[in-house]
Amino acid sequence: MRLQGTINLPPDKSITHRAFFIASIAQGRTRIINPLFAEDTLTTLKILAQLGVNVKKTKEEIEINGKGISNLREAQKALDCGNSGTTARLLMGLLTGLPYEYTLIGDASLSKRPMKRVVSPLSLLNSKIILTNDDYLPAKILPTTVKSNTVSLPTSSAQVKSAIMLAALKCTEETVLYLPGASRNHTELMLSYYGADISFSDQVIKISGKNELQGREITIPGDISSAAFFIVASLIVPDSEIILSNCGLNPTRTGILTVLNQIGAYYEILNQRIVNNELVGDVLIRFTKTLQPFIIGGDLIPLLIDEIPILALLATQIPGTSIIKDAKDARVKESDRLRNTYLNLRKLGCQIEELPDGFVITGKTELQSNVVDSFNDHRLSMMLKVAKLLNHNIEILNDECDKISYPNFEKDLSKLVK
């Protein structure tokens, strides 16, 4: 068995969410080409419709007629964010400063994820948000007037800074945001593309609501976090060679390419181009017989936070000891990804030690047959399906949750198997 062929990656989930939110507060019509239609992004669309946004959906496009920055309407019932942390956290910024009270709710998993990390810095802009037990959904967003401020964030979080930027758009005075390091900058790039008064670097963002956003056509690139599963699959299945087309290559998302350089994997970037402020290209990845163990941590972690489970699997297939550290934020994703990755890889016979913020993993391991569990976390489910390429007798419980971000993952993976 080997993997061979070309995959058209699913559209980027992070960029799709942001395109929906920003189009909803722009003036006029936005045509969104190649958005991701998955559970989380459809949740965002449903909520925007509740807020009075005109949304037209076809098979491959979305058309949104925006309401302007401060014209979203009152909701008639609670806004259900489902399983989507991005939806909940960005809504907190989007709805702050409007003259209505909103209630945000989520499913059992989302209701266990911390929200104070967003609410605390938003309060510096005069946001009034009441959380359950001071940290969780349900949340009440109270009417208030946004005031500009200078905000320093203790950690690099794309969702937190995005919420602050969306709130700051309602204030004509400049808000300055200081950041400890790089994290996904899709919101900054997109706000600039839509005409916002914004300047930014990895450490500082300056933004105001002086300019109304103008609706524009935007095309969503492929999701590099989804690409990671195919990249690792091709590195651990002998004689594989695949091409991942239309892959987003934003430098704040390409931490996995840094890991590939570190381990000596063979890959090429083809057909690089800029699409709506985002770097895009095709990735050719080839099985590499001799790979070196890796150590990742520090500023690299925010650039690959969603890839932690699949990188842990990769480490089990490389001779020597690999270390993943400084990744404690992976504990507050759709599940505790550190704990649950550890439990699953241990069941498969891997030599793995769980750290408070990561793992120590010694390979190479021949994966054993066992029953494992995705814990209803889409990234874990997809990681385990890649592991199953090495042992078809692995049984995965709760493996339907891929639809959160990549409904066709299993189908696309099977297409590559020769």
Q: Are residues 282 and 225 in the same domain?
A: yes
- Reported as a single tens digit per residue, the pLDDT across 110-159 is 999 999 999 999 999 999 999 999 999 999 999 999 999 999 999 899 99
Residue 102 inside a domain? The answer is yes
Q: Which of 193, 219, 245 represents a domain boundary (last residue)?
A: 219
Q: Are residues 158 and 50 in the same domain?
A: yes
Give the pLDDT confidence score for residue 171 in this predicted structure: 93
Q: Are residues 130 and 207 in the same domain?
A: yes
Residue 146 inside a domain? The answer is yes
What tokens appear for 295 in the block? 């150590």
Q: Are residues 317 and 359 in the same domain?
A: yes
Residue 2 inside a domain? The answer is no
The tally of domains found in the chain comes to 2
- Reported as a single tens digit per residue, the pLDDT across 339-367 is 999 999 999 999 999 999 999 999 999 99
Residue 268 inside a domain? The answer is yes
Q: Are residues 135 and 283 in the same domain?
A: no
Q: Are residues 233 and 192 in the same domain?
A: no
Q: Are residues 284 and 214 in the same domain?
A: no
Query: How many angstroms separate the CA atoms of 250 and 236, rounded?
Result: 25
Residue 292 inside a domain? The answer is yes
Q: Are residues 279 and 382 in the same domain?
A: yes
Q: Which of 166, 185, 219 represents a domain boundary (last residue)?
A: 219
Can you list the positions of beta strands (E) in 18-145? 27-33, 54-57, 61-67, 79-80, 102-105, 129-132, 136-141
In sequence order, the 6+-apart residues with CB closer than 8 A to the CB of 106 are: 80, 81, 82, 83, 84, 88, 113, 137, 138
Q: Are residues 201 and 238 in the same domain?
A: no
- What one-letter code names the amino acid at 273? R
Per-residue pLDDT of the chain (418 residues; tens, 9 = 90+): 999 999 999 999 999 999 999 999 999 999 999 999 999 999 999 999 999 999 999 989 999 999 999 999 999 999 999 999 999 999 999 999 999 999 999 999 999 999 999 999 999 999 999 999 999 999 999 999 999 999 999 989 999 999 999 999 999 899 999 999 999 999 999 999 999 999 999 999 999 999 999 999 999 999 999 999 999 999 999 999 999 999 999 999 999 999 999 999 999 999 999 999 999 999 999 999 999 999 999 999 999 999 999 999 999 999 999 999 999 999 999 999 999 999 999 999 999 999 999 999 999 999 999 999 999 999 999 999 999 999 999 999 999 999 999 999 999 999 999 9
The 10 Å Cβ neighbour count of residue 267 is 17
Which CATH number goes with the domain that contains 32? Answer: 3.65.10.10
DSSP 96: T
The 10 Å Cβ neighbour count of residue 164 is 26
Domain span holding position 279: 221-416
Q: Which of 219, 252, 273 represents a domain boundary (last residue)?
A: 219
| 351-360, long-range: CB < 8 A, 24+ apart | 351/316, 352/312, 352/316, 355/325, 356/328, 357/325, 357/326, 357/327, 357/328, 358/297, 358/308, 358/323, 358/324, 358/325, 358/326, 358/327, 358/328, 359/312, 359/315, 359/323, 359/324, 360/321, 360/322, 360/323
Q: Which of 80, 223, 306, 412 is catalytic?
A: 306
Q: Are residues 196 and 130 in the same domain?
A: yes
Residue 194 inside a domain? The answer is yes
User: Is 306 one of the catalytic residues?
Assistant: yes
Residue 5 inside a domain? The answer is no
DSSP 214: B
Q: Are residues 211 and 229 in the same domain?
A: no
Residue 64 inside a domain? The answer is yes
Q: Are residues 210 and 339 in the same domain?
A: no
- H helices within 206-282, ranges in order? 224-236, 255-263
Give the pLDDT confidence score for residue 59 in this predicted structure: 86
